[in-house]
Structure 1
Amino acid sequence: MVLLTVSPEVALADEPVKIRAWELPTQQIITIRAWLKDEKGKLFYSRAFYRSDDEGKVDLEHTPATGGDFCGVHPMGLFWALKSMTPFFKLIKRDVMGSPFEIHLEVYCHLEMNVIPECSPEASACLRRWYVAPGVQRVQVKEGRVQGTLFLPPGEGPFQGVVDLFGPYGALQEFRSSLLASHGFAALALAYFVYEDLPKTTNSLDLKYFEEATEFLRNHPKVSRGGIGVLGASKGAEVALAMASYLPQVAATVCINGTVAASGYTINYGDLVLSGIPYEAEKVLFTHNGSCNAFHVVGDPTKTENQASMLPVEKAKGPILYLVGDKDESYDSLYFAKISAARAEKHGKKDVYIESFPGAGHFLEPPCSPFCPVSRAPSIAVPMIWGGELIAHCRAQELSWTKTLDLLRNNIPCARDNTF
């Protein structure tokens, strides 16, 4: 009887697992298939082909995939390659507290080419991928104008606080904040558009709102008052950089594939008005499948007419880490990071760092997250191309997550009193 095991069967979503099959026919091409359904009932699947060894074993830590969704030795490749049966649909965990993702693994002792196999598998297993560790608390936040969700690790603290920001999908995304809390941070998943009574678009950005959010987090009794960290991706990275540039409470900042100037909308902060660089929508390129490439839509901040819109990164109180994929097809993220770092150095700021990942695209998410090269976003009319290459991108996610945690952990002060 063919056997299939996965270990551990229950784990955090950013933790690797071991997958092994044995009692297989020797030197036989087999198929291992993975699938799950999200909270909306959408099916995601992946598959890879392997050749069993002389003992009838396949161990994903050592056995190379001969084909399928990828080739080579990639123990988490089946997770990386999960894709939706529904075109342009991105896998997002919404209910992080109530349930895990249940990923089903199946073994077929032949080359299974069908997306939905017509026969039963020879063996199967199921694992549960949680986005929150035991003991983490989830607190809904509606404090003045501030709306979001606060995740607190178990214990009394004080914990290092992080404001977590996303971009094109708007609304409230919690999966990264819940994982941050699982690693010891007090993480505020902050909504700022397309949520409840917040603005439906980002035509104008009031930095006072984000200042209120940092003060709410910093004043929480379980959060260190010595300063907070900010983590932003895509449009959220632009917001994070604005916060770092103007808010002295920000002690450390991580920007993932974003712009470095007010882009497409105005940033307001009291009497300060930073006009946005107009989008050049006429530079959108469409593909044969109807998706679009917006790489050239965001204007160049170094042009004379745009320089006043650049964010004064040199004013940031703490270090800034740019994480960029060099195959990002949404923004010219590497170029933007380089000109911002050059500006900082020109003004004597030395703690601005760039980590560029060859082959990585736009959505650098926690480890083991599926690769998403193209998807729809609620705030965008057509599917967007995000870029990247499967293996390179997912390896970059492992490295970038470690660098994110390290920068935040090493640079956010941990103090009970307001000493910032």
Structure 2
Amino acid sequence: MVQLTATPTSTLVDEPVHIRATGLAPFQLVSLHATLEDEKGMFFNSWAYYRANEVGEVDLDRAPALGGDYTGVHPMGLFWSLKPEIFLTRLCKRDVMNSPFKVQIKLYDKELPIQPKVTRAPTASVTVERWYMASGVTRIQVREGRIRATLFVPPGDGQLPGVIDMYGGTGGLLESRASLLASHGFVCLALAHCGFEDLPAQPDKIDLEYFEEAANFLLKHPKVLGPGIGIVSVCKGAEIGLSMAIHLKQVVASVLINGPNFVLSAPHVYRGLILKPGSFSTELIHSNSYGLIDFYHVFDKSNQEKSPSVLPIEKAKGHFLFIVGEADKNINSKVFAKNAIEQLKRHGKNNWTLLSYPGAGHMIDPPYSPLCTGSAIPGVCSAVHWGGELVPHVAAQEHSWREIQKFLRKHLTPVVTSQI
């Protein structure tokens, strides 16, 4: 009897699953399909075909995919190769607390042509639940003063490192990464900065006192281990995160994912200080053959060494982890990180680490997330090109997620020295 198993069948979305088929004929060719329906009813699917070994087994930890959405040995390939049926749809979890994503994996007894839906009954199937929040983590809506955020607090006694999590200019309040960080032992504040409730979609200024208010709120929580906090941020969020690290003494560890080292658009304002954005060249906006818009060279002039829009990173007291996708098509993040590091070096600083990933795109998410090569930014552009090549991008996601947690723990957890 053919059996398809997934171990475990319910786990966090950033943890691996062992998929195995048994009871097949020796050297039988089979096709494995994965499907997922998101909270808006959008479907994502992936497929690959395999050949059973001499005892009629396909173990994805060892067996190479012979074709489909990927080839070679990739135990989690069916998850990270999930692709939307509707172009430019990004897989995004909105309710992290009450329901998991359910990935249905089906086995068919021979190779099938590439198609989004298969109507024939599978030989075997299994459903895997992928959660964004571990059992025991508490989710708290925060509407205190101007702060618009969600706080995730791990269970148990004792204090833990505090982290602010921010996304980019698409706006809204995304909780998926913050809930995962809390699931791994961080008190994490998912912080909105635009396009959410009473926050403007396109702010006319970046008021750093708002972010200072959020940092102080987090530090005052009894579960948070001070004296400083960390930041995990991407794109526009990384621009703000860098500015926070420079101006706010509360910020001592900053993870900057594919961000600029200068003020992109709206000026940064802090206690009378104003940092104005640089110039940009709209004629350098390009569209590829799929209609995706590249902003890759638009801000080249803003990043020139003597531009007043360049953020004075050398004034920051904390540590930086730059994460760069070298195939980022939205901004030239590799050059921007390089320039920020050179700026630190010129001032005798060594408070940085660079992780630069060939083939990785702009949207570097937690492990096993599907590659998103393009999506819309409401009010800005209907089809932004994020870039990335499938296999190197997902490998970068897996590696960088481990390094992010190591970096935050290193710089947010005091070293206890033994006394003799």
In which range does the TM-score fall when normalised by the shorter chain? over 0.9
Distance 2:303 2:178 in 1: 34
**Corresponding position of 1:138:** 139
Query: Could you say which residue in structure 2 is the equivalent of 1:411?
Result: 411
String of CA shifts for 1:174-233, please: whole Å, max 9, x gaps: 000000000110000000100000111143211111011100101112112311001101
Any gaps of 5 or more consecutive residues in structure 2?
416-420
- Residue 203 of structure 1 pairs with residue 182 of structure 2: no
Aligned counterparts, 1:345-356, within 5 A: 345-356=345-356
Deviations 1:220-270 (A, max 9, x none): 121123110011011111111010011111010000001010012211111
**Structure 1 residue aligned with 2:168:** 167
User: TM-score scaled by structure 1?
Assistant: 0.96
Per-residue deviation, residues 286-331 of structure 1 (Å, max 9, x unmatched): 1233221111122334436x62111111111111010001111111
Pairwise mapping of residues 297-312 of structure 1 onto structure 2 (< 5 A)? 297-303=298-304, 307-312=307-312
**CA offsets 1:348-406 (integer angstroms, 9 cap, x no match):** 21111211011111111111111111122324322111111111000111110111001
CA distance in 1, matches of 2:379, 2:192: 14
**1:20-31 equivalences in 2 (<5 Å):** 20-31=20-31
Structure 1 pair 46–11 and aligned structure 2 pair: CA distance change class (3 A): same
User: Quick check: 1:313 aligned with 2:313?
Assistant: yes
Q: Distance in 2 between matches of 1:37 and 1:230?
A: 31
The one-letter amino acid paired with 1:72 is: G
Preserved CA contact (<8 Å) 2:231 2:253 = yes
Report if aligned partners of 2:313, 2:344 keep a CA contact under 8 Å in 1: yes
Q: Deviations over 1:104-137 (max 9, x none)?
A: 0000111112321121110000011110111000
SS in 2 for 1:376: strand
Q: Deviations over 1:276-295 (max 9, x none)?
A: 12332221111233221111
Which amino acid in 2 is paired with 1:82?
Answer: L
Q: Which moved more, 1:382-391 or 1:274-283?
A: 274-283
Higher RCO, 1 or 2 (CA under 8 Å, sep at least 6)? 1
Distance 2:5 2:210 in 1: 49
| 1:359 counterpart residue number | 359
Q: Does the CA contact (< 8 Å) of 1:136 and 1:182 recur in 2?
A: yes
Structure 1 match to 2:122: 121
TM-score (norm 2): 0.96
C-alpha deviation, 1:43, in angstroms: 0.5
Unaligned runs of 5+ in 1: 416-420
Q: Please state if 1:233 is matched with 2:234.
A: yes
Mapped pair 1:294 → 2:295:
yes
Distance 1:380 1:217 in 2: 31
Deviations 1:332-361 (A, max 9, x none): 111100110110111121111211011111
Q: Which amino acid aligns with 1:45?
A: N
In the alignment, which residue of structure 2 is the partner of 1:392? 392
Task: Provide the rounded CA distance (Å) in 2 between the counterparts of 1:112 and 1:105.
Answer: 15
Inter-partner Cα distance in structure 2 for 1:154 and 1:403:
23
Say if 1:286 and 1:302 are closer, same or farther in 2 by CA, change over 3 A.
closer
Is the 8 Å Cα contact of residues 224 and 414 (structure 1) preserved in structure 2? no
Match of 2:418 in 1: none
How many residue pairs get aligned? The number is: 414
CA distance in structure 1 between the aligned counterparts of 2:151 and 2:300, rounded to whole angstroms: 35
* Amino acid paired to 1:134: S
Q: Which amino acid aligns with 2:77?
A: G
Aligned to 2:216: 215
Give 1:413 shift: 4.2
Amino acid at match of 1:105: I
Structure 1 CA distance for aligned equivalents of residues 255 and 407 of structure 2: 8
**SS across alignment from 2:334:** helix
Q: Aligned residue for 1:418?
A: none
CA contact (8 A) 1:31 1:107 kept: yes
Q: Residue 286 of structure 2 aligns with which residue?
A: 285
Give the Cα separation in 2 of the matches to 1:237 and 1:402: 19
* Identity rate, percent: 45
- What corresponds to 1:112 in structure 2? 112
CA distance in 1, matches of 2:120, 2:148: 49
